Amino acid sequence: MMDHARYRMLIGADPRSSDAELREHREGCPECRLYTEQLLRFEARLERALQVDIPTRAEVLPFAAKAATRDAKSWRWMAIAASVIFGVVVAAAVWIALPGTSLAADVVAHMAGEPEAWKLTDVAVPDAALEDVLRDSKLRLSAAAGIVSYAASCTFRGHRVPHLVVQTPSGPVTVMVLVHESVGRHTQFDEQGYRGTIVPMPGHGSIAVLMQDPGAAHARDLEHIAAQVRDSIVWLDPDLRQ
Amino acid sequence: MNDGSGGNQRRTRFQALCQSLRPDLLRFAYWLCRDHALAEDVVQESMLRAWKARDSLLDERAAKPWLLTIIRREYARTFERKRVITEDVDELVAKQEPMLAAAEEQDLSEMRTALFKLPVAYREPLVLQVLMGYSTAEIARELDLSGPAVLTRLFRARQQLRAALGEDDGADGEA
- In terms of average pLDDT, the best of A108-122, B46-60, B135-149 is B135-149
CA dist., res. A184 & res. A97, Å (int):
7
Residue A211 burial by CB count (10 A; 0-12/13-18/19+): exposed, middle or buried? buried
Dump the DSSP string for A128-143.
HHHHHHHHTTTEEE-G
Residue-wise pLDDT for B21-37, tens only, equals 888 899 999 999 888 88
Quick: pLDDT tens for B99-113.
666 555 677 888 999
CA distance A49 to chain B (A): 5
What domains appear along chain B, each with residue ranges and CATH number?
1-85 (1.10.1740), 118-175 (1.10.10)
* pLDDT at B43 exceeding the cut of 80: yes
B175 confidence band (pLDDT: 50, 70, 90): very low
Res B130: pLDDT: 95
Q: Is the pLDDT of residue B39 over 80?
A: yes
pLDDT at A83: 79
Cα–Cα distance for residue pair B46/B127, rounded to 1 Å: 18
**Residues linked to residue B40 through DSSP beta bridges, in sequence order:** none
| pLDDT reading at B6 higher than 70 | no
Enter the ipTM. Answer: 0.84
Please report how many Cα atoms fall inside a 13 Å half-sphere around the Cα of residue A41, on the Cβ side: 9
Q: Residues of chain A whose C-beta is under 8 A from some C-beta in B?
A: 5-10, 12-15, 35, 38-39, 42-43, 45-58, 61-64, 66-67
Percent of chain B with pLDDT over 70: 77
Q: Does B14 touch chain A (CB under 8 A)?
A: yes
Task: Return the residue of B nearest to A42 by Cα.
Answer: B162
The yes-or-no verdict on residue B83 having pLDDT over 70 is no
Query: How confident is the model at residue A64, as a pLDDT?
Result: 58
Nearest to A177 by CA among A99, A101, A107: A107
Closest CA to B107 of A52, A42, A135: A42
Positions in chain A whose pLDDT score sits under 70: 55-75, 91-101, 112-121, 213-219, 238-242
The minimum CA-CA distance between A20 and chain B, rounded to whole Å, is: 16
Closest chain A residue to B12 measured between Cα atoms? A64
Chain Cα centroid distance, residue B158: 17
- What is the spatial order of strands in the sheet that A171-178 belongs to? A147-156, A159-168, A171-178, A206-211, A194-200, A187-191
For residue B169, name the pLDDT band (cuts at 50, 70, 90): low
Residue from B148, B162, B105 nearest A35 by CA: B162
With a pLDDT cut of 90, the percent of chain B lying above it is 40
Q: Quote the CA–CA distance of B91 and A212 in Å, as a whole number.
A: 81
pLDDT score, position A196? 85
More confident site: A150 or B69: B69
Phi, psi of A231 (to 5 degrees): -70, -20
